[in-house]
Amino acid sequence: MEPIKEYPYQHRDINWLSFNDRVLQEAADQSNPLYERLKFIAIFSSNLDEYFRVRVSQLRQLKRVDKNLRKKLALRPSKFVKQLLKKVGEQQHQLGDIFFDQIVPELAANHIHLLTASKLKSDFSKEVAEYFKKNLKNKLDSQYVEASKSSDIFLKNQSLYFLVTFKNENRYGVVEIPSTEQDRFISLGQKDEEHYLCFLDDIIKLQLKNIFPDEEVVDSYSIKLSRDAELYLDQDLEGELADKIYESLQQRTDGQPTRFLYDERIPKEVIKNIRKSLGLGKIDMVSGGTYHNFHDFFGFPDPTDNEELHAPDLRTIEHKALHGKDYFDVIKQKDQLVHFPFMSFDYVQRFIDQSALDPKVEHIKISLYRVADESALTDSLLTALENGKKVTVFVEAKARFDEENNIKWGRIFEEHGATVIYSYPKIKVHSKVLLVLRKENGKLRRYAYIGTGNFNAKTSKIYCDHGLFTAHKGITKDLLRVFQVLEGDLIIPRAKHLLISPFTTRRTFEELIRREIDSAQSGKTAKITAKMNQLEDQGMINLLYKASQAGVEIRLIVRGFTCLVPGLEGISENIEMTSIVDRFLEHGRIYKFHNNGEPLIFMGSADWMSRNLDRRIEVLTPIYDNDVYLELDQILKIQLQDNIKARMHTPEEDNPMVDEEASDIVRSQQEIYKYLKKKHKHNS
């Protein structure tokens, strides 16, 4: 067979939209409880907002780069954005159909009525007037815009507004909908066991004559402007080209528009005029529905308190070895594995609590990627400082959308005596690691925690993650070297056990894949099983294609976007790839290699993306403890068998379900919970 000179790749931004399609599938799935479906609608909307602020923003800003450099990217940003907008438009219409044709009627069938403006006007005009007078009348920000003239009006990022048309066509009104200061969904009370709610938007819409008393109001339309997030091009582009582009742009952008979302009912002439007034381009304009910011449905109230409309509460599993015991004694004996959200984040918290109070503990080192605003974890680190312990905290100042809070906590730690290290230029620290140094019998003994998710109790309740507690001398020695790199005492960590990006991760994974290729070509069993959030790195994808061609059996679980195209004859027919979208966000990264019958498993913070392999500090740990290995391996096997919430990645990107007619029904999150509950059952 002749070698293939050019392999196929999906574009990450188009494939990401396929991921958001999977979220919409969950919103449409009538087997999900009603409020779970509303949650998926909110997730879809939140995802799309970030997509425009980050990914579309980056494409738009590439237009500002020198044209010769743009050619090297082999990308025409404007043309590509139009392609994305077409797909987004289709998704938004699908979202509207799901919401208005399915969700709203189902709410009504359960005695919860989300009323339209016309219904409010006919049946609740008195209640609307009273609410407006009491809560809104003197708090609304309204202004005028001259039609088709440049205007200095500023629309806040992601905020909701009404664009109001008047009989006087020479100007428009703009009024902000204060959905961040007020509840988005307003209760209008209860009648005969029926509960009535409305959008805050519609209360304002029915009172526009009181907001613009000198004008004859004709109509009003919802609008929203999304502005770009901070841009770090060097994280997504490589080598010298990335440096040149990086230097050609400001690191912190000026918040330019990336999407002007408007009610599709707006007359064309009005859109043309307002576009000119706001200084927007045609490519900025995206038509949508009557209501925007559906992410507010995260907080949609349930006045009925009907448990059947919600996912059942998850009763966390007590860890058999860690529950109520001295962590140092337990971890010293053998490694321990915890799983969120099936187990409580309290296991991590208690380890830090114990370390903060234990007189033998001398030093705590931790990397924080997203710091919770207020948390028991930050309190414990401050307690450790009060108790005279050394605390070293690495704070990632460039964690997107969490920069301000991370820096705030870094300063608090500094003020209390901690050694605080902030991110380096052009590199993020994404690892989720903790190291405790404890004096035992005159010597320092190391205890570590290495996880796939952030040190955040809130997200641990909705993200599926894993964490390893270990006192393994080799692993903890390598982790100490990671912190020495962060502290500037080492340039390159000589690691014998851990995979550490950007130093050893890529090289090790490549060697392991090539080993499977060699096995396959020798007629031996060869298998690769990997679970991750995204798959983008072309080097890794090329090796997976070559492994498939050699006969390696490859099974991938990729929750989000992927640039690899599975199932292509002669290229990737031995690669099967699925995505699991369920109640909890799949966030763990697990990699397994057959390795000539001596299988290896690694878990940690890194996806197979260029940034995770080459431009971030990432840590993945091998699993040496046999019991822990079997536990993690069984979880991976259950996820591979999912045929309820798993979709196939296909060349067509159409997200078909997996083996819907299979005799054994496997919904992996529920089965993993049952497995862990049985394994960690306490003998009493």
Helix (H, G, I), strand (E, B) or coil at 579: strand
400 is in an annotated binding site: yes
370 is in an annotated binding site: yes
Instruction: Reply yes or no on whether 594 is catalytic.
Output: no
Rg (CA), the chain: 27
* CA–CA gap between residue 217 and residue 673 (Å, rounded): 57
Selected catalytic residue, list 195, 295, 339, 430 = 430
481 is in an annotated binding site: no
- Note the residue count of the chain: 684
Q: Residue 213 contacts by C-beta under 8 Å, 6 or more apart in sequence?
A: none
Q: Residue 195 contacts by C-beta under 8 Å, 6 or more apart in sequence?
A: 111, 112, 113, 187, 189, 303, 304
Tell me which DSSP letter residue 400 carries.
Answer: T
Cβ neighbourhood burial of 369 (10 Å; 0-12, 13-18, 19+): buried
Tokens of 537: 């790195």
Q: 613 and 606 in contact (C-beta within 8 Å)?
A: yes
Strands 527-532 and 553-558: parallel
How distant is the alpha carbon of residue 93 from its chain centre?
23
Q: 130 and 58 in contact (C-beta within 8 Å)?
A: no
* CA–CA gap between residue 406 and residue 371 (Å, rounded): 6
Tell me which DSSP letter residue 317 carries.
Answer: P
Four-residue CA torsion sign, 328, 333, 339, 342: negative
Tell me which DSSP letter residue 545 carries.
Answer: H
In angstroms, how far is the first alpha carbon of the chain from the final one? Answer: 63
Residues annotated in a binding site: 47, 370, 400, 463, 559, 587
> Which residues carry out catalysis?
430
